[in-house]
């Protein structure tokens, strides 16, 4: 049976990630640019009339209570709807990569179910739910490439030129908590502005998590070396093990044992932009 909604959930790259401080409650303050790319998971939604939320893994097995089911349940509780859903999940974005796959899945779930269940919740209301699920979820709901501040909840839309990238994901992943709790993590990078970024765009800044990630996961260094050997400027994205580089001109991507290598393009906007009223 064809699903009522078949929706994409795109990944993102952090073009840079600076840690500029730490709040009293332990949360790290950051500056970053989040950029959507055309590497997507696909979610299939079928209406159920019995309030049951069920999930079918069509590719990679997921934990029983992942961000998708948690998002559906949170929306059900907030809205009080008597409807349920069966969700088929075709995963493509790897986990523990720093690509935001789980958060993107949660955001697409909230947007799709808001329509499927005819809830008519606003984008602001969905973002409030999303922030309880994870710091990156509001970005994917936001729908724009963005300059990001705070703990990830403050976003200013930006426009980026079309560009091509290659993402290199080692077979091993990295847990966010291991990096952010590491004593060697730099937490005092000076603040920047959107104008600083605009002067350099894809070559601006660095990822403060990268040096710690290389200590914890030698495969990150190997992925960076893969880029360097091809004349590319590699940089880690987010807090996972994936590395990315901008591609200009022709490049033979090929394959490499122990790595998932994915060419991609950036997106001007989220494919579900406009699915919720502002």
Q: Other C-beta atoms within 10 Å of 158: how many? A: 18
Q: Which two tokens stand for residue 110?
A: 């909230």
Predicted local distance difference test score (pLDDT) of residue 3:
61
79: CB partners within 8 A, 6+ apart: 117, 119, 121
Q: Is residue 234 part of a domain?
A: yes
CATH number assigned to the domain comprising residue 125: 3.30.230.10
What gap in Å lies between CA 236 and CA 16, rounded to an integer?
Answer: 8
Return averaged pLDDT per consecutive 10 residues of the chain, 278 residues in all.
80 97 90 98 95 95 94 97 96 96 97 96 96 93 94 91 96 91 94 93 95 96 95 94 92 83 96 93
Closest CA to 270 of 129, 51, 105: 105
- 250 given a catalytic annotation: no
42: CB partners within 8 A, 6+ apart: 6, 7, 8, 9, 89, 90, 92
Provide the domain limits for residue 248.
1-273
Q: Are 144 and 127 in contact (CB under 8 A)?
A: no
Predicted local distance difference test score (pLDDT) of residue 278:
82
Q: Is residue 200 part of a domain?
A: yes
- 12 given a catalytic annotation: yes
Q: Are 273 and 143 in contact (CB under 8 A)?
A: yes
Q: Is residue 278 part of a domain?
A: no
Predicted local distance difference test score (pLDDT) of residue 135:
87
Tally the domains of the chain. 1
Alpha carbon 146 to its chain's center? 12
Q: Which two tokens stand for residue 81?
A: 């709807």
Residues 136, 169, 208, 235: which is the catalytic one?
Answer: 136
Closest CA to 18 of 146, 169, 152, 208: 208
């Amino acid at each position: 049976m064809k699903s009522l909604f078949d929706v994409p959930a795109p990944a993102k790259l952090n073009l840079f990630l600076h840690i500029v401080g730490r709040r009293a409650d332990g949360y790290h303050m950051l500056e970053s640019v989040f950029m959507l790319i055309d590497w997507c998971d696909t979610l299939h939604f079928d209406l159920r009339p019995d309030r049951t939320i069920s999930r079918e893994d069509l590719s990679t097995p997921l934990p029983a209570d992942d961000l998708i089911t948690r998002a559906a349940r949170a929306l059900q509780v907030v809205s009080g709807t008597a409807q349920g859903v069966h969700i088929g999940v075709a995963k493509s974005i790897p986990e523990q990569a720093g690509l935001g796959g789980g958060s993107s899945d949660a955001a697409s779930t909230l947007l799709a179910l808001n329509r499927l269940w005819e809830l008519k919740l606003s984008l602001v209301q969905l973002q409030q739910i999303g922030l309880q699920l994870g710091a990156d979820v509001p970005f994917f709901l936001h729908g724009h490439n963005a300059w990001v501040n705070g703990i990830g909840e403050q976003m200013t839309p930006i426009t980026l030129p079309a560009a091509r990238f290659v993402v290199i994901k080692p077979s091993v992943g990295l847990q966010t908590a291991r990096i952010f709790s590491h004593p060697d993590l730099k937490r005092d990078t000076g603040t920047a502005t959107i104008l600083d970024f605009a002067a350099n765009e894809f070559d601006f800044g660095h990822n403060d998590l990268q040096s710690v990630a290389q200590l914890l996961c030698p495969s990150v260094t190997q992925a960076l070396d893969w880029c360097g050997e091809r004349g590319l400027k590699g940089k880690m994205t987010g807090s996972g093990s994936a590395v990315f580089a901008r591609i200009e001109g022709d490049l033979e991507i090929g394959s490499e044992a122990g790595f998932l290598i994915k060419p991609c393009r950036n997106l001007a906007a989220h494919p579900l932009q406009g699915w919720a009223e502002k």
